[in-house]
A and B are shown apart, each in its own frame.
Chain A
């Protein structure tokens, strides 16, 4: 039996259009053998949660550079809980001040990847945290 591929939703929430990072990560995860769905730009937490449900993903990766993380992340985590999707691993990549990290993790974000992270570190983290079928 071939191993089931890890399914990842890469999402770009908020009004920001700087999608260089989201695209690089999407491609790096795909090259690492994962099934990647990229939402495109300007997704609300509602849109991200329903896409995650519909696509039955194991991981959601949010790319946030605009400073809107403190608003967006808790909203998304609440929606995931409401939809019974607390088992989905949610990662954030982007420009996140160190001071905001404890609160984001408390809200249920599994890990925050800051600028300069290598794509391999993210691949490794996902492999460690998603149980294989």
Chain B
């Protein structure tokens, strides 16, 4: 690591601080000798390691000695301007609160449509759709592999007909919707755009977010269909289509959430996510897209885990790294490309099945970190999510948690309330440095696709998750209600998914296939197949197929025929 304070475009080193030897002031040394040492002699500190949730060591006290080369002008700046450490808007939540966007989806399109309308009636300001596993994997509800999974982890969407029901009486011209879909993202997006068109909403004005982040699927969540190359092509096809047709839509949500849930540290989450972002930028540029046209449509998605300050440092470092990379690496001239916008979800993996009401408290603290870190939108988990998808009761408390933070705690009154704290600034620098180290390693491997193919991020995450589990098993880390403070409890009432969903979906699909023009479906699927063999943008072909009521499974199969499927080498 270089000790030079000024970063160069070639090496992209972060702002230097605690990598240099720490030089405490005379006053601090004096305090250590005369106050601290006698105190420790009388009452020693606790013996276990003082580390973050990620295992990052934390000092007893942070002072100006922890920020030796820190330049507030350069490293902190003002809000709404580079390097965006303090947030991407000059006034942050004083002008507009974050979007309260609760992820929801279960059963059939009718079931989820009812939940959406309930959440909007309760003051939620945006929608977020969870799809079931068959949909995420590009299978129709009546596919043999869908048995037992239809409507369980999200809503079952097999065709445009289902999508029309999902957004029935929800005005897509004014409500923004996020869709958690990756491998079949282009297909689901085409369905969404078809519904918007039917409602008479202007594509140029509608806004929302497609998750569409295939790299993190290979790294962490593992809902991939095709090999990396054609998958990346589909992602870039959506970028290109979005630039031309839907300039306000986020065509991707580059996600650290799932990387963290898979067991990564905060630094790994940050590093792998941002390196994924750089990979998409590079692929877009290789397609011939102008950085400053498509990058403003890229958004991010981070986890909010338990360690309050580590999470805040992570969000602040994320903005600084992205700005630096855009300006230095890609010579971007558009401030809209520099400002990293992100959604946050509180950490599902931190919720305990034991004493589930404690999860309300965990979620509130995690959500507070996201807000203090400057998130643009937020999902708060429900207390029962270690058991099942949330009941309406639990989902309402989760939404109320955000409303309490927004309206009662006072943290929204000022921008970046922790800015200038020795601890937070030093931790922000350390997290940033750790992330750049990883980014450098992945650059050296030839980029993220190459790193994924050799299993590098997967192995790093598996290591971290094993270390964490061992620390919990040995009680080096205490989880209240799990390995400490255990008590007897009554079982919780959880949401039961109607087992008839698959049958009802299969009936609907049978009817759809009988009523549509099969000749038209075949013709459009054939056109998609031959376009997939060439190098045209596939979005218009997918859109055409969707509009003929070709099913999700049929469209994904047409591309499976050409692209093949991906199998990972499992790492344990």
A residues within 8 Å of B by Cβ?
10, 14-20, 22-24, 26-28, 30, 36, 38-42, 44, 66-68, 70-72, 95, 97-98, 114-116, 118-120
Contact = CB atoms under 8 A, between A and B. Distances in A.
B386 A95 contact: yes
Given A41-B222, A97-B494, A68 B148 contact: yes
Nearest to B502: A71
Contact of B223 (A17, A20, A28, A72): A17
Contacts of B153: 16, 66-67
The 3 closest A-B pairs by CB, nearest first: A17-B222, A71-B148, A68-B148
B21 interface: no
Contacts of A95: 353, 386-388
Contacts of B462: 23, 27
B469 A66 contact: no
Given A66-B152, A67-B152, A67-B497, A15 B572 contact: no
A68 B473 contact: no
Contact of A24 (B221, B352, B466): B466
B448 interface: no
Given A15-B137, A36-B572, A114 B494 contact: no
Given A66-B133, A115-B386, A23 B149 contact: no
A19 B479 CA distance: 21
Interface string B333-362: 000000000000000010011100000000
B136 interface: yes
A68 B152 contact: yes
Contacts of A71: 147-149
B175 interface: no
A20 B262 contact: yes
Contact of B149 (A10, A66, A114, A118): A66
B353 A114 contact: yes
Contacts of A114: 353
Chain B facing A: main interface SS:
loop
Given A20-B261, A95-B388, A119 B469 contact: yes
B427 to A, nearest CB: 26
A83 B388 CA distance: 34
Contacts of B9: none
B568 A118 contact: no
Contact of B572 (A26, A44, A72): A26
A104 B497 CA distance: 18
A115 B133 contact: no
A68 B502 CA distance: 12
A116 B473 contact: no
B465 A24 contact: yes
A67 B572 contact: no
A126 to B, nearest CB: 15
A6 B470 CA distance: 22
B126 interface: no
Contact of B222 (A19, A36, A68, A115): A19
B36 interface: no
Given A17-B222, A20-B263, A98-B491, A115 B149 contact: no
Contacts of A66: 133, 149, 152-153
A104 B405 CA distance: 42
B151 to A, nearest CB: 9
A95 B352 CA distance: 11
A33 to B, nearest CB: 16
Given A23-B572, A41-B568, A118-B483, A15 B149 contact: yes
Contacts of B386: 95, 115
Given A18-B221, A116-B482, 16 more contacts: A15-B146, A15-B223, A16-B149, A19-B570, A20-B261, A24-B466, A30-B572, A41-B568, A67-B153, A67-B497, A71-B149, A95-B387, A97-B387, A116-B353, A118-B483, A120-B473
A18 B349 CA distance: 11
A115 B568 contact: no
B572 A27 contact: yes
A26 B149 CA distance: 25
B568 to A, nearest CB: 7
11 contacts: A14-B148, A15-B146, A17-B223, A18-B221, A23-B466, A42-B145, A66-B149, A97-B387, A98-B491, A116-B481, A120-B473
Contacts of A42: 145
Interface in B189-232: 217, 221-224
B469 A28 contact: yes
A19 B146 CA distance: 19
B155 to A, nearest CB: 14
Contacts of B184: none
B26 interface: no
B1 interface: no
A15 B133 contact: yes
Given A14-B148, A15-B145, A20-B263, A119 B473 contact: yes
A40 B388 contact: no
Contacts of A20: 261-263, 349, 465
Contacts of A115: 352-353, 386
Contacts of B469: 24, 28, 119
Contacts of B149: 14-16, 66-68, 71
